[in-house]
Amino acid sequence: MSSVWRVVRRTVHRLAHPSVPPIVGRLRPDRTAGRSLRACGRTVVHQRANDHRRGKVRPCGVELVAGIGWTARHAWHALTHDPRVWAAMPRVDALVLGVGGMDTLPSPLPTAVRELIPVLRPDPLRRRVRTAYLRAQPVLARVLPDGGPVALPPRLTVEYLERCRAAVTALRPGIPVVAMLPAVHRASVYGGVHTGRAAAERATREWAAAQGVRLLDAGTLVAAHVLGGHGNPDGMHWGWEAHRRVGETLADLLVGELRTLGDLRRGP
């Protein structure tokens, strides 16, 4: 996800009306982003450097708030507990809710219980419990009806997405809001099971239509890449090309939304 934002931050302000202020913030990738992800972002930036020099692109800042395995509930918790988010609010031009995909994954053990595994003590007990869970998870996902419970049911996913949207737009009314539809996977750690995706996508589309939220269809953008085996060997995480495609699509979407907003602010 960090790589996506490195694409977005250099392209999102190709606006016809430069009076629209840029998003101000710092890029803070989560711990999963390594040197290769950063290199991918730099490549895209370099490819668009000519546009930038010709004045077609204005650099912007992106405040990325992210963590490993976040669901929509984690995003709501960050919004209400992270002072970095509060500090960014006066300068936010758009809200991108790039969460919801993890919500759709099989979770035979209740999420609240699973998230306690890292804090188990003593260490040998934690390692045994984690190993046992990782062995059991793909098996249970295949044998339980419909893959068993998901990490977060669709009704809760959209409930937390709506909380995030309502809270931010209460402070910054009129800003564009973009949400992301769940991507696809073929991860053996989940037994290749992803039966929860369809219901989550339907619920997200219905919520977005009701609230005027734009959608980024990550599943369509990365399906051939991930399912064709061109991503990470774990069968879930995207390779560089998929990050580029999603980042550029999101940037184009935001450009259109912000240009429209700029036109409305300018008036006839």
Q: What are phi and psi of 250, to 5 degrees?
A: -65, -40
Starting from the edge strand earliest in sequence, which strands make up the sheet with 214-217, in order? 95-97, 177-181, 214-217
What is the length of the chain?
Answer: 268
Contact in structure between 179 and 225 (CB atoms under 8 Å): no
User: pTM (2 decimals)?
Assistant: 0.80
pLDDT tens for the chain, residues 1 to 268: 555 655 555 444 443 334 433 333 333 333 333 333 333 333 333 333 344 444 444 556 788 898 888 999 999 999 999 998 999 999 999 999 999 999 999 998 888 888 899 999 999 999 999 999 999 999 999 999 999 999 999 999 999 999 999 999 999 999 999 999 999 999 999 999 999 999 999 999 999 999 999 999 999 999 999 999 999 999 999 999 999 999 999 999 999 998 887 765 666 5
Cis, bond preceding 173 (omega within 30 deg of 0): no
Q: Which of 17, 37, 14 is nearest to 27 (CA)?
A: 37
CA distance 33 to 2: 6
Q: What are phi and psi of 95, to 5 degrees?
A: -120, 125
Q: What is the C-alpha separation between 62 and 5, in angstroms, rounded?
A: 7
Geometric angle at alpha carbon 159, from 157 and 165, rounded to 5°? 105
The two three-digit tokens of residue 14, written as one number: 């190709």
The full set of domains in the chain, from first to last, is 2-104+156-266 (3.40.50.1110), 106-149 (no CATH)
Q: Which residues neighbour 111 within 8 Å (Cβ) at sequence distance 6 or greater?
A: 71, 151, 152
